[in-house]
Structure 1
Amino acid sequence: MTGPGPAAGLNALDQFAATLDALDAHLTAAGTAMRRSEHNRLSLLHLHAAAAAVVAPLFASIGQAGMQGPSWTIIRHIPAAPYSLAVLLGVGGVILGVATWFRHRSAEMVGLGLLLAWYVIIAGSFGGAVLLWLADGSPPGPRPPAYPAGVYAHLAVIMAVHLRTLWRMRRPR
């Protein structure tokens, strides 16, 4: 047993009442922490949804002419890029935002899955451009930077963590 022993001068009924009071205080604090955690999680999902909805048209605005540097070596070969990728991101963001607002977990998972797909495609494409450049013997001229692959890969991991959390919440215990 941890903590102090029975308080001096209290009978068994008073000790039991004190234990129940302490349990009530603990459960109240745990409930408050749980509600705060849920609020923070939902706020993050809304932030991801809003960011996707804003970034999608910005990504589309790059246009095919804007994808000429060495970083875009792989993305240029994706059909209708950057527009198809912008649609993937934008639709995922809209689905995630609406589903989170209405607390529809399955639809939240669909939205997160689309965002995860977008981040994996972008990270893989930028990382692949670096690998192709290295495999080509590091030719002179501009080289693709490695950091975008890391940025998008870590965002993909964040989407995967959100998906895992939702998956675990939907399973009965």
Structure 2
Amino acid sequence: METLTAAAVATLLLTKMIEKVGEKMGEKLPELGSKALEQIGKLKQALWRKAPETASAIERVTYQPELVEQQPEEYGIQVLTAKMELVTKQDAEVAEVVNALAAEVLPRIPQKVVQVMMVGIKGKSLTAQDLIQEAASGSTNVNQQMLKDVELEGDISLGNLSQKA
């Protein structure tokens, strides 16, 4: 998954598309908790006051998620996220709520980590020291590969190889 901006997180939560992100990762997302739900309520209120067109589009997608694919030019997640980002740039109150919501939710979203080190090496010999792959704390979908598809004609000397998830 790409890095999510605060506006993207807010848009995904408000449209309830955050579940789709979890499904794509093959994981059920954790419960948001009362603080996040409170922030979602505040954001909805602020959007209706400050950007009613954006609030209306987001609400339509909430109740008609098929619009995301049927009318992506108007209701696609990228379009809605761009609208949310514009509102956050133009209005400090909305920006504050969006950032608070993202701060509450982002740590709960599983992080997919893929680390690849020393793959596809061909040569006469190899010497390597202190190779470390370490996934960030909280990462739940980790794929680490080290020394894969190595073809050497001579010696191989390795030391201190470590993978931590």
**Which one has a larger percent strand, Structure 1 or Structure 2?**
2
The answer to whether the superposition gives a TM-score over 0.5 is: no
Give TM-score, length-normalised by structure 2: 0.28
Give TM-score, length-normalised by structure 1: 0.27
- The higher-RCO structure (CA 8 Å, 6+ apart) is 2
**Which one has a larger percent helix, Structure 1 or Structure 2?**
1
